[in-house]
């Protein structure tokens, strides 16, 4: 089953909330995504029905293995793309916003190439001293 982009966004936000707070609540997801509480209620119901999350009696949300896998994949794409855009000179906010737009649609092949490229750049930043331009 192909998951919708909006569901990926919800799962990614849930992962971010879990990392930030140690727990996931609907109100935090609404704030993170800038959506209404009823929108979150509808989305979490669908995610629960499809086996991506579980909801406790107290309203706390747990990512199930299938949902966690999707969330981690999208979050990794987000971070790698944000870093790439920033390396190109884009400011952090714009880079993160644009990464959100692109992260869902890249093929695995293109993403793997981008990830390898950013890893090479990161390796060069730490291993390659910058040129001394004062004597030129």
Output DSSP code: residue 131.
P
Q: Which of 92, 71, 1 is nearest to 29 (CA)?
A: 71
- Residues 66-113: pLDDT tens digits? 999 999 999 999 999 999 999 999 999 999 999 999 998 899 999 999
Stated as kind and residue range, the H or E segment containing 59 is none
The confidence score (pLDDT) of residue 124 equals: 73
Question: Range(s) for CATH 1.10.10.10 in the chain?
Answer: 5-69
The Cα–Cα gap between 118 and 43 comes to 33
Q: What is the value of pTM for the model shown? A: 0.81
The confidence score (pLDDT) of residue 50 equals: 94
The CATH T-level fold of domain 74-127 is Diphtheria Toxin Repressor; domain 2 (1.10.60)
Contact predicate 71/52, CB 8 Å: no
Chain CA centroid to CA 99, Å: 9
| Average per-residue pLDDT for the chain | 88
Region of 90 (left: φ > 0; alpha: ψ -120 to 50; beta: rest) is beta
The CATH T-level fold of domain 5-69 is Arc Repressor Mutant, subunit A (1.10.10)
Question: Range(s) for CATH 1.10.60 in the chain?
Answer: 74-127
Region of 129 (left: φ > 0; alpha: ψ -120 to 50; beta: rest) is beta
Region of 59 (left: φ > 0; alpha: ψ -120 to 50; beta: rest) is left
């Amino acid at each position: 089953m192909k998951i919708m982009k909006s569901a990926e966004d919800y799962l990614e936000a849930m992962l971010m909330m879990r990392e930030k707070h140690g727990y996931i609540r609907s109100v935090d997801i609404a704030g993170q995504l800038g959506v209404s509480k009823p929108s979150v209620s509808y989305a979490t119901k669908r995610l629960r029905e499809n086996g991506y999350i579980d909801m406790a009696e107290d309203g706390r949300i747990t990512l199930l293995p299938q949902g966690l896998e999707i969330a981690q994949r999208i979050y990794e794409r987000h971070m790698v793309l944000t870093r790439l855009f920033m390396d190109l000179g884009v400011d952090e906010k714009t880079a993160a916003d644009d990464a959100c737009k692109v992260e869902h649609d890249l093929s695995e092949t293109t993403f793997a190439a981008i990830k390898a490229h950013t890893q090479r750049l990161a390796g060069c930043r730490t291993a390659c001293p910058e040129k001394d331009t004062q004597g030129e």
